Structure 1
Amino acid sequence: MATAPTLPEHILVVDDDARIRQMLSRYFEEEGYRVSLAEDGCGMREYLDKQSVDVILLDLVLPGEDGLTLARDIRSRSDVPLIMLTGRNDVVDRIVGLEVGADDYIAKPFHLREVLARVRGVLRRRQPRASSRVGNPPSEIYCFEGLRLDVARRQLLSDDAGEILLTTGEFDMLCVLVKHAGRVLQRELLMDLTRGRKLDAFDRTIDAQIARLRRKIERDPSQPALIKSVRGVGYVFSARTRQET
């Protein structure tokens, strides 16, 4: 029996600059992706109400509702990977974007190959890893403080509340912390392990991601017991973990 063809991954570009929309559309279609376009929040919502997408490229500065407002709206309904397109000097807005749930950001002006690499990165991390062995693959499930982290299925389950939805960036961050439990991890290393790039000067990407993750898994985010800060260095996952076999 013939199998159904796999559909190309679907990107939604939300930007009020027609030149940027067309440039991204042409480039990604040539790379084999399916691309849809919206020029503002109204167009974005109208499209998302009808279609599902695999990743959203969202401009920070838009007419009417800005990108931060739209990012909050997206996160209230979905954990779809979200990459913000920002001005090079919008440091504060970039941090806020990550705090409201963006998985990554790209500063304008950008190189198209960089955008492609970032999109491929979030999509690759988003997909559950296929087993390379026949039969039952080795388990990679970690249990701690009433939570169960299933790495292969990319799920975080709570004994009390069921599944806790995490963005791609949040899940990647938690996996790195849990797998290195008890070890102090520098911000630079966390950036490299979760995003595959270097930490820029004054870049608070990691801090913003940690803050959002704490709000989802800590009983009291203001007094974190699982992810602790190490002043001037980075973070350490301090909970006792048990790996299921």
Structure 2
Amino acid sequence: MLESTAASPNAPHVVAVDDDLSVRQLITSYLLDHDFRVTAVASEKEMRAVLGRDPADLVLLDLRLGGENGLQIARSLREQTKLPIIILTALRDEADRVMGLELGADDYLTKPFSPRELLARIRALLRRAKMHETVAEVVAHVRAYRFEGWELNVRLRRLRAPGGESLTLRNAEFNLLLAFLAAPQRVLTRERLLELSRLHNAEVYDRSVDVLVGRIRRKIEPDPQNPRMIVTERGAGYMFTPGVETLRG
């Protein structure tokens, strides 16, 4: 186990899980130079021990651990915590990368990787996580949003149409619609929507927002081909145009 102490006691704590000693040393040294606290371990058991005594801000997880299934570890982490997770994979292991993202990882990096890129991705993910916490604090006090006869029950994650029927929303659709309803009549860039809805791996799936907006439009717009509730602001992003009533309590 490798542990480092950053200059600031309030520095973000990254737990890196990789069975390659040279990779652990590289991560520890580089992040320490950029004011992070790092604990680098070789196994899930060591990772659990660290998380049990020293809360982390982010987990960096190699999917190809010797004798252990990194995908199962990622699934378990996501089920038990909201910690941001970046997975490390070999360039050829596309199936593992996709599966890791579907299991709840927030981003990935292929080996061999640039320490500078790793640092940039960690910082970006921590910013998104902090922003999500702020949004979550607001939403925690919101019971539902109403617009144009529709109602989105935040706690039940249920969308009710003006006629009373309930519509099923996938997790990403719910998060994106929630982001719109929390900031109505404001232009939101794709990047901002990705941050607010915490869609996975925005760098790769840079059109995810467009696809999901299309799905939501087909569910709530009278004419999805000529939308009037979620309108496109060319060169800027999207705007949710209706007035929104917020039900609290």
Match for residue 43 of structure 1?
46
Q: Is the 8 A contact 2:14 2:57 kept in 1?
A: yes
What's the offset of the Cα at 1:143?
A: 2.1
Q: Find the structure with the greater CA-based Rg.
A: 2
**Structure 2 residue 122 is the aligned partner of structure 1 residue 116:** no
Match for residue 147 of structure 1?
153
Unaligned runs of 5+ in 1: 132-136, 149-156, 161-168, 182-188, 215-223, 231-235
Match for residue 246 of structure 2?
244
Distance 1:129 1:69 in 2: 25
What are the residue-to-residue correspondences of 1:76-91 with 2, within 5 Å? 76-91=79-94
Distance 1:170 1:29 in 2: 38
Unaligned runs of 5+ in 2: 1-7, 159-171, 225-229, 232-239
What's the offset of the Cα at 1:110?
A: 1.0
**Structure 2 residue 105 is the aligned partner of structure 1 residue 102:** yes
**Structure 2 residue 18 is the aligned partner of structure 1 residue 18:** no
- Counterpart of 1:68, as a letter, is L
Match for residue 55 of structure 2?
52
Across the aligned residues of Structure 1 and Structure 2, the Cα RMSD in angstroms comes to: 4.6
Q: Is the 8 A contact 1:191 1:206 kept in 2?
A: no
Match for residue 165 of structure 1?
none
What are the residue-to-residue correspondences of 1:151-190 with 2, within 5 Å? 157-158=155-156
1:73 corresponds to which of 73, 76, 88: 76
Q: Is the 8 A contact 2:145 2:181 kept in 1?
A: no
**TM-score, structure 2 length as denominator?**
0.59
What's the offset of the Cα at 1:90?
A: 1.4
Summarize deviations over 1:48-96 as a string: whole Å, max 9, x none. Answer: 2222100000001001222111001101210100011111121111111
What's the offset of the Cα at 1:198?
A: 7.2
Change in 2 beyond 3 A, CA 1:50/1:72: same
How many percent identity over aligned positions?
32
What's the offset of the Cα at 1:101?
A: 0.5
Change in 2 beyond 3 A, CA 1:114/1:192: farther
